[in-house]
Amino acid sequence: MVGHTSRSLSTVISYLQQPAEQVQVASTAEYYDEVARQISANPDAVAERGRQAGIALGDQPAHTINTLVQEALAALDAVEGDPVIDTIAGGMQLSEYLPTRTFELTVHTLDIAVARGRIVTPPATALEDALRLVTELATRRGEGSAVLLALTGRTPLPDGYSVV
């Protein structure tokens, strides 16, 4: 999971070096729709990317992640404007892609904390943005009413329910 989460940083670094000629994916939500299609077509590829990312963390994963943070921030500092970058889902404006990374960092930070028996509270802005995205995804998939009812304590979501 830590390796998979580190891809939220490494993809920013690599995708900034991969300009795209045109926007193919217009929004953050569309990115997740496309990625969901790819996962359903080849779930083993997703798992393998996560495994390889874990291996790439090496013997000092905390140090490697800190280095990735610094490299990602430096790469973002060097950006001018809002370039179109080539992502796994297709060409996207950087401004639409970056929320996918903060979403992944927020959700997987919580995953890792649960796995370690810890309580972590991500920054309020990150939580609000993540919640906004999942409600948009649920609504796009025709499941908005069910999510609203669950979040207001009226009905539970089905076991294993996920918008991603």
Structure token pair of residue 59: 């013997």
Judge whether 105 and 39 are in contact, CB under 8 Å: no
Domain boundaries, the chain: 2-120
Whose tokens are 């959700």? That residue is: 107
Task: Give the containing element (helix H, strand E) for 4.
Answer: helix 2-15
Closest by CA position to 35, among listed 81, 79, 4: 4
Distance from C-alpha of 25 to C-alpha of 130, rounded to nearest angstrom: 19
Q: What is the structure's pLDDT at 71?
A: 98
Residue 76 CB partners (closer than 8 Å, separation 6+): 12, 16
Q: Does residue 128 carry a pLDDT above 90?
A: yes
Interval 12-67: pLDDT, tens: 999 999 999 999 999 999 999 999 888 878 878 878 888 898 899 999 999 999 99
Average pLDDT, stretch 131-138? 96
Percent of the chain's residues with pLDDT above 90: 85
Structure token pair of residue 57: 């963390």
Q: Does residue 112 carry a pLDDT above 90?
A: yes
Q: What is the structure's pLDDT at 101?
A: 97
Distance from C-alpha of 160 to C-alpha of 81, rounded to nearest angstrom: 40
Exposed, middle or buried by CB within 10 Å (0-12, 13-18, 19+), for 39? Answer: middle
Exposed, middle or buried by CB within 10 Å (0-12, 13-18, 19+), for 6? Answer: buried
Threshold 0.75, pTM exceeds: yes
Structure token pair of residue 17: 């070096």
Residue 1 CB partners (closer than 8 Å, separation 6+): 50, 108, 111, 112, 115
